[in-house]
Structure 1
Amino acid sequence: MTDDTSEAAAAAAQPPARSVLVVTGMAGAGRSTVSNALEDLGWYVVDNLPPQMLRPLLDLASHSDQRLSRIAVVVDVRGGQLLTELGDAARHDGDGPQLRLLFLEANDAALVRRFEAVRRPHPLQGGGTILDGITAERAMTAAVREQSDIIIDTSELNIHQLATTINELFADDETPGVRVTITSFGFKYGVPTDADMVADARFLPNPFWVPELRPLTGKDAAVRDYVLGQPGALDFVERYAEALRPVLAGYQRENKSHATIAIGCTGGKHRSVAVVERIADLIAAQPGVAVSIKHRDLGRE
């Protein structure tokens, strides 16, 4: 990352109430990685927007609700005329959203290496070499680079480091580092295929065999108190939540923005539900973690 992404660039990156960010730069410099990172931060990302649609997009952002308060437009050399019109679009008058330019670059050696690794030609090389295409692109994008608010040199960055850079520049205080879905399930219906971690609550006595608890679920106080009152239950819940603390912190460092934790019992109705509800409360207290609860098999007979 260049000096352009110093404290001044970080300040420039902080979006106003409504913001449109144009992400452009050299082909192979990491636009797809930046696009994915911005989406994970809650930005609405538009890829390869036609040039004539940029001004209507700014107008739309001016009158949109909070869901479209942060829009990112990803542009490459195939945008053609758009690259020459960014300067005019950036001078947006009035109270509309502010347009900011993020330019991604890398040195020739890094770009050549990346194109060779994926065995694809540079979009502008034509019948020439990859380096010919890079040279032509540098000339085409020189003016845009000069007027960009933020410039990131990705020559020495891998995709994880680049995503971290974007998180540091554009995450706000309300953006969670990792979104966790914690789900209950019944083993007899199969383990969730999207689970990153699986725990088993079948070591606890089954409320199914208690007649007055059988028709209830783990969301009912009577079942919850029965399950969590069993020997070892609270110890398991608290220790498991504590064990997840460094895992979720590591996910944030590695830019793994979503995780699914599955906790199962036999039918997914009593024990796993009660345990999930309690563990979710403990996990939600960890910094940078947003938690949602899902009870996959709660409605099954």
Structure 2
Amino acid sequence: MSTAAANLGGTPQVPDIVIVTGMSGAGRSTAAKSLEDLDWFVVDNLPPGLLATMADLAERGQGAVPRIAVVVDVRSRAFTTDLQSAFDELEARGAHPRVVFLEASDEVLVRRFESVRRPHPLQADGRIVDGIARERELLREVRAEADLVIDTSSLNVHGLRGKIVSFFGGEGNESSLRATVVSFGYKYGLPVDADLVVDCRFLPNPHWIPELRPHTGRDAPVRDYVLSQPGAKEFLDAYTEVLRLLVRGYEREGKHYVTLAVGCTGGKHRSVAMAEQLGGRLRDEGLDLQVVHRDLGRE
């Protein structure tokens, strides 16, 4: 029996609502199209003040539109105030919207606008970087409260689609916590979408051992070397326990996504090995999880 049929004559069904927002040029349209391909009902450039109206129409459909994704941006007047008011109204009626914030570095955003020869929507008579700065300030609070932040600086269209599918592609799994463990190299910068960051540079670096240097943390010789070092096992045991507490707290608070970043100098040896270990332990706890190695293969 379909969801719509099951709810005929019953109480209105509150739809699952995702708000897609973030920096102009960071990939909002690609994210929206990806959600549409996953059978979400997508509304682009909806003024925040109409979010509650959209939810009300969906409820009247008695389950015919169970999942709505709405793209909003700062071109709407009173963006922050209207968005907060819309959230409050949706929460009051039992809807719990999730916010996906798309991010990218200033350099990447400038390059993207220049490649399509379009002005930034907030640059007015200034430069593209001026528009980006204004937009960052306007979105500062929204980004801080977002459920999921995706940094698209190093992603192409296919990479962003893959991210969206990994977070929203599961059927009947919308309420569970989904985690990403990402290894990285400090020399290439911190992942801007990380919720938690842990530093593995307290362990000896396999880079300085000639026979280990060509390998990565995925290879047994490097993995075994890293895990055999004083403090490695103790760190994994202690930090896994901390993550258990955090995961339970996140689930109580209704958090849907968490990104754990594990760093070393170059993102090739120690962080990769430790990220794989932490990922495996969290999977054993039943967490829906993916492990990503951001800087692996980078010279």
Please, what TM-score do these two structures have when normalized by structure 1?
Answer: 0.50
Q: 1:95 to 1:28 in 2, by over 3 A?
A: same
Sequence identity, in percent? 49
Could you say what the CA RMSD is over the residues aligned between the two structures, in angstroms?
Answer: 2.1
Give the alignment partner of residue 74 of structure 2, picking from 72, 77, 84: 77
Contact preservation (8 Å) 1:87, 1:147? no
Corresponding position: 1:134 with 2:132: yes
Mapped to 2, the partners of 1:76 and 1:121 lie a distance apart of: 15
Deviations 1:162-192 (A, max 9, x none): 00000010012379xxxxxxxxxxxxxxxxx
Q: What SS is found at the alignment partner of 1:143? A: helix
Deviations 1:92-117 (A, max 9, x none): 33553321111111000010010000
Q: Which moved more, 1:129-138 or 1:83-92?
A: 83-92
Aligned residue number for residue 27 of structure 1: 24
Mapped to 2, the partners of 1:86 and 1:52 lie a distance apart of: 7
Deviations 1:57-93 (A, max 9, x none): 1222333333311001101221232333222322333
Contact preservation (8 Å) 2:101, 2:146? yes
Contact preservation (8 Å) 2:44, 2:71? yes
Deviations 1:185-229 (A, max 9, x none): xxxxxxxxxxxxxxxxxxxxxxxxxxxxxxxxxxxxxxxxxxxxx
Q: What SS is found at the alignment partner of 1:32? A: helix
Determine which structure has more spread, i.e. the larger CA radius of gyration: 1
Contact preservation (8 Å) 2:49, 2:83? no
* 1:120 positional shift: 0.4
Corresponding position: 1:87 with 2:84: yes
Runs (5+) with no aligned partner, structure 2: 1-12, 174-299
Across the two proteins, how many residue pairs are aligned to each other? 160
Runs (5+) with no aligned partner, structure 1: 1-15, 176-301
Aligned residue number for residue 66 of structure 1: 63
Mapped to 1, the partners of 2:99 and 2:46 lie a distance apart of: 15
Contact preservation (8 Å) 1:18, 1:98? no
Mapped to 2, the partners of 1:63 and 1:97 lie a distance apart of: 14
Q: Which amino acid aligns with 2:35?
A: L
Q: Which amino acid aligns with 1:170?
A: F
Corresponding position: 1:155 with 2:149: no
Mapped to 2, the partners of 1:110 and 1:81 lie a distance apart of: 27
Mapped to 2, the partners of 1:93 and 1:174 lie a distance apart of: 21
Q: Which moved more, 1:88-97 or 1:120-129?
A: 88-97
Mapped to 2, the partners of 1:95 and 1:137 lie a distance apart of: 30
Q: Which amino acid aligns with 2:161?
A: A
Contact preservation (8 Å) 2:35, 2:164? yes
* 1:54 positional shift: 1.4
Aligned residue number for residue 39 of structure 1: 36
Q: 1:168 to 1:124 in 2, by over 3 A?
A: same
Q: Which amino acid aligns with 1:23?
A: V
Q: What SS is found at the alignment partner of 1:77? A: coil
Aligned residue number for residue 105 of structure 2: 107
Q: Which amino acid aligns with 1:86?
A: L
Mapped to 1, the partners of 2:65 and 2:26 lie a distance apart of: 26
* 1:146 positional shift: 1.1
